[in-house]
Amino acid sequence: MTEALLEFQDVTKSFGGVIAVNNNTFQVEKGKVVALIGPNGAGKTSTFNCITGMYTPDAGEVRYNGEKINHLKPHKIAKLGIARTFQNLQIFTNLSVLENVMVAAKETRKPNVLSSMLRLPGIRADEERARKLALDMLELVGLTDRAQVLANDLSFGEQRLLEVARALALRPKLLLLDEPLSGLSREEVNGMVALIQKLKKDGLTIFLIEHDLSTVMEISDHIIVLDFGSKIAEGKPDEVRSNERVIEAYLGRDVKKQYEVPESKREDREPILTLKDIHTYRSTIHALKGVDLQIDKGSLVAVIGANGAGKSTLLGTIAGQYSPKQGTIFFENKAMEKLPAEIVSRMGINLVPERRGMFAELTVEESIRLGAYPRLDSLLIPANEKRRIEEEMEQMYQLFPRLKERRRQLAGTLSGGEQQMLAIVRGLMAHPRVLLLDEPSLGLAPLIVEEIFDRLYQLKQSDMTIILVEQNAKAALQIADYAYVLENGRIKLEGLPQHLLQDSRIRDAYLSSH
């Protein structure tokens, strides 16, 4: 019997009427890798926040090494040896990679102001020790050669690694990882998994939140499952996998959705959007290097590819956010590559951005109504138009009933999945001719991803044109009519989804186990 490093006893935390953590009791044993899984909004990150002192539990006890830590401030808890990473990266973007890690070093945590002003030898020695430690941590995660780069300029995957290096520089006994694999490419996932396994071997206790279940099953000793704030199951990976309640709440019934797949590209369709030799620069990066694309009216086109392939830049270029240096974009035979974003949006090309762009202080209903404004000429809405908006909102609620239940809730308090639904609905309210979706499945639980993709399929059936950018290639290819594979700013492959699904190159790069 190993001893518990972290104990949760009857911990409850609620916000207003919403219970984020509901009377939970569990333990994290020393030296183990423990995973916390559950649908979006299940209270996983809230649980982490109760451990790190960002939230103070309303009731119950959080014990670390047998010591009660409920009422300690975050920095005190960090000093005890609990380090964390963040789901939505919290990199110090104004510091270099090395400096980011140095912040966590104990040696320079509380330097004397006067000695720092005078650069006394003691201060310089501490600084040197912190630098050494930080370099060691960077080496551990494989970012040594990026040490002097501004942290903001790292790729997404590198920033995730940086967060881990920074947390390790605290020399923690307990490491909390909040969705460390989310948004990583397959290759990056493998690197992170190897790192986690190495840390475990070195004796570190790891408690992690993750949606990538196959990886969770592979690396965890113990899994705790949450739903609506309550623990619904825990145990070894195999036990959890076969638990009825877990399957119902999280994985969904194992009924493979059957989507109708097109046999060939339909010839009767006319192109609505055509890109020819598009080159786009983001600051000085040549992000798109001559992209040709043809989108037929009423089709759902998937664009897949790894992080940094240029997928978001592609959507941004179509939406008029970035103006291409070279090439043309035709929208119904009108050149539009020089038009600014607001005009493009009024023409009926609407982008649902990657991070959803919520207005946290508006209610769900207000947010949806806001979506209708781009198509109106004035803010004085005639009565018949008002009625139509109400009718459409009702349709939207039918599409996503969850949103109806939450219509009076502030958008900022929705779970990730609900925010994604709201973002899609908001885009639809503008009556788009072409809907651009950037990573709608990012950071969402499998069941919700399925629900959202189901709706996208429904929209496609109602003859909407959709461009879907996704890392979750498997899911995207299931509902698409046609697909493009983007790599390093170029179209590497294109074709019918069922052909791509069988292509070994695609399978190796994007589909394995995800």
Partner 1 sequence: MERIVQVHKPAAIGMKRWGLVVLGVIGAAALPLLVNSYLTSVLVIIGIYCITTVGVSLLMGFAGLVSLAQAAFWGVGAYATGVMAVSFGISPWLGIVLGVLLSGLLAFGLGWITRNLNGHYFSLATLGFGIVLNIVLIEESEWTGGSSGLSGIPGLSFGSISLSGDTAWYYFVWAIVLLCLFLCRNLVHSGWGRNLRSMHASQAASESMGIHTGRYRLQAFVISALFTGLSGGLYACYMSFISPAVFNFDMSIKFVIMAVLGGLVSIWGSLVGVVVVTLLVEALRQYVPVILQDSSSGGAIEVIFFGVLLVAIMVYLPNGIMGMFQKRKSNMRVNAK
Distance in angstroms (rounded) separating the CA atoms of residues 90 and 456: 31
In sign, the C-alpha dihedral spanning 301, 304, 308, 309 is negative
Q: Shortest distance, CB of residue 89 to partner 1, whole angstroms?
A: 9
Q: In DSSP terms, which residues pair with 304 in a beta bridge?
A: 470, 485
Residue closer to partner 1 (CB basis): 75 or 386: 75
Structure tokens at 108: 């320079």
Question: Given the complex with partner 1, which of 171 and 492 has the nearer CB atom?
Answer: 171
Rounded Cα distance, 462 and 148, in Å = 52
Q: Which residues neighbour 427 within 8 Å (Cβ) at sequence distance 6 or greater?
A: 350, 351, 352, 371, 435, 437
Token reading at 300: 């759902």
Q: How far is Cα of residue 251 from the mean position of the Cα atoms in its chain? A: 18
Of the pair 106, 402, the CB lying nearest partner 1 is at 106
Report, in Å, the least distance between residue 91 CB and partner 1: 7
Positions in the binding site for partner 1 (CB under 8 A): 52-54, 73-75, 78-79, 83-84, 86, 90-96, 99-100, 102-104, 106-111, 113, 116-119, 123, 126-127, 130, 148-150, 152-153, 166-167, 169-170, 283-285
Q: How many CB atoms lie within 10 A of CB 198?
A: 12
CB of 151 to partner 1, least distance (A): 9
Least distance in angstroms from the C-beta of 189 to partner 1: 23
Q: 73 vs 245, which CB is nearer to partner 1?
A: 73
Give the nearer residue to partner 1 in terms of CB position, either 6 or 464: 6
CB of 119 vs partner 1, minimal distance in Å = 5
Pick between residue 146 and residue 356 the one whose CB is nearest to partner 1.
146
Tokens of 378: 């004035």
Do strands 434-438 and 349-352 pair parallel, antiparallel, or not at all (unpaired)?
parallel
Rank residues 100 and 415 by Cβ distance to partner 1 and give the closer one: 100
Helix axes 156-168, 186-201, angle to 10 degrees: 10
Element housing 117 (H / E) = helix 113-118
Q: How would you label 391-412 residue by residue, b for 16+ Cβ within 10 Å and e otherwise?
A: ebbeebbebbebbeebeebbbe
Residue 186 tokens read as 């397959």
